[in-house]
Chain A
């Protein structure tokens, strides 16, 4: 599709347009009802309060989807087939948090017959704190 970006037009140091999402308890409840993830720390306030996290936290798997959505939006197939993500959850996400997914181009290389763009990725909360950090790669076919 024409809206996807090409390997050639990416510049090292460039920031992709961020993606903003609001986390809510309703979304967490929906997520745990569909995912095979039965951890009371996501849904049971009484239980969650007694843990070192002192309250409900969103599943890491739910929040990392926002980084994937950002890369899907910009790169389509180069992300769906050939994408790599390597991340750490460094801070909890609470219901009500406003999250921004960011990606910055840090390298461009050739690997396995494809053009590969490497990104530093972050998910940041409303206090400008990293909640997820890591790297991602998108692999572009050379004829596209």
Chain B
């Protein structure tokens, strides 16, 4: 795959829509990796007795499918090595449930140079299958070249 360079990214550029399935396998591995064993995410019996009425997925899990590698994958291109995550914003707007099939819409919201470094801002909006927006991510990496 060809590397996508800073100059290839254009402000306002819309990336192809993506889908992502939050399977139990993905959720279990993610929770292990972030070391968060909250029974609200893992134990259906427990979660049913809470006001959430069943298991949910922590919304910060948007992090696993709104990465730069992930959002540029439909372009069949890859990031240059050495890309660094500089800043991040999230807004969580709806509960995420195990098994949700998510739709992710991403644009290049901004790109700029500061102190000799190249920054890009990707805005990803995430929707569940009912069309409800469950959250928005603004991911800002430093682009290596």
A residues neighboring B (CB under 8 Å): 1, 21, 27, 30-31, 33-41, 47, 51, 59-62, 64-66, 68-69, 72-73, 77, 79-89, 134
Tell me the complex Cα distance, A17–B123, Å: 32
The answer to whether B86 and A39 touch across the interface, beta carbons within 8 angstroms, is no
Decide yes or no whether B70 CB sits under 8 A from chain A. yes
Q: Chain A nearest CB: distance from B85 CB in Å?
A: 4
| Docked pose: A31 CA to B26 CA in angstroms | 11
A41 touches B32 (CB 8 A): no
- Mark contacts of B50-81 with chain A using CB atoms, 8 A cut-off: 1 yes-contact digit, 0 otherwise: 11100010111001110111100100001101
User: Given contacts A34-B29, A37-B67, A77-B51, are A66 and B58 in contact (CB under 8 A)?
Assistant: no
B87 at the interface (CB under 8 A from A): yes
Q: Which residues of A contact B30 (CB under 8 A)?
A: 31, 34-35
Binds A, one of B4-12, B89-97, B107-115: B89-97
Closest to B88 in A: A87
A36 near B67 with CB under 8 A, answer yes
